[in-house]
Copies of this chain bind each other. A is one copy, B any other.
């Protein structure tokens, strides 16, 4: 197909397709003349993936390139696609230069590289659970920062709470995994988009579940801001 047909199939402009070709996130078509190239179904599929990663997934073009390199690395087996796809979502270069961006004064994980230092809370958890996670991992750094914030804010955070959360998240992960196709490109697409897109679903469901659980478990005065059980008109 012609470049204009490829653009139509991907619901983008020809200029966008040319941009993606220049940036290397779309492979070149088969040259059929000095100015024309032929594109096939694999280009349409790749274009749609790029659009989904950028548009719905909110990834930068540089991040998309990293994700695609995971797909194209044929040596990555199904078990490693998960972590490779996740890693492609992180700026691993930035990981060591954090902590000075306005949050707190002290660097959060200053001892991360010190082999004699005790493990970070996240690393300790991984060890206790016996989880198969490559260390260092940017996600563990993220977990450490999140735990640090909870400890600082004194919101009843405890190791027991963390362990219970981990247990529940393993149920989520098993559910997630059941949806991942075996073909690597489809798997990476699923892992990356599923990671980015399902987080907000879980976050929203947690809040709604909290409302429900609070109503089931705690005494209500009925004076709160209009719950469904008492329509506003029925004062």
Contact = CB atoms under 8 A, between A and B. Distances in A.
B150 A201 contact: yes
A204 interface: yes
A82 to B, nearest CB: 4
Interface string A170-212: 1111111101110000000111011101111111111111111
Contacts of A139: 204, 207-208, 211
A162 interface: yes
Copies of this chain, how many? 2
Nearest to A51: B153
A215 to B, nearest CB: 4
B170 A134 contact: no
A165 B79 CA distance: 23
Contact of A84 (B52, B79, B225, B229): B225
Contact of A133 (B56, B83, B137, B208): B208
Given A201-B143, A212-B173, A80 B227 contact: yes
B179 A175 contact: no
Interface string A122-146: 1000100101111101011011011
A216 interface: yes
A188 B230 CA distance: 23
Centre residue among A83, A198, A211, A220 by max chain B CB count within 10 A: A211
A172 B168 contact: yes
Contact of A228 (B134, B143, B222): B134
Chain A interface bracket (under 10, 10 to 19, 20 to 34, 35 or more): 35 or more
24 contacts: A77-B220, A79-B224, A81-B214, A81-B224, A82-B211, A82-B215, A83-B224, A84-B224, A84-B225, A86-B211, A126-B208, A134-B225, A137-B208, A143-B204, A143-B208, A146-B201, A155-B179, A155-B194, A165-B175, A165-B201, A166-B209, A168-B175, A172-B209, A180-B214
Which 6 A-B pairs give the minimum distances between C-beta atoms? Answer: A80-B224, A77-B221, A173-B209, A82-B214, A79-B220, A132-B215
Interface of A: 52, 55-57, 75-84, 86-87, 103, 122, 126, 129, 131-135, 137, 139-140, 142-143, 145-147, 149-150, 152-153, 155-156, 161-162, 164-166, 168-177, 179-181, 189-191, 193-195, 197-229
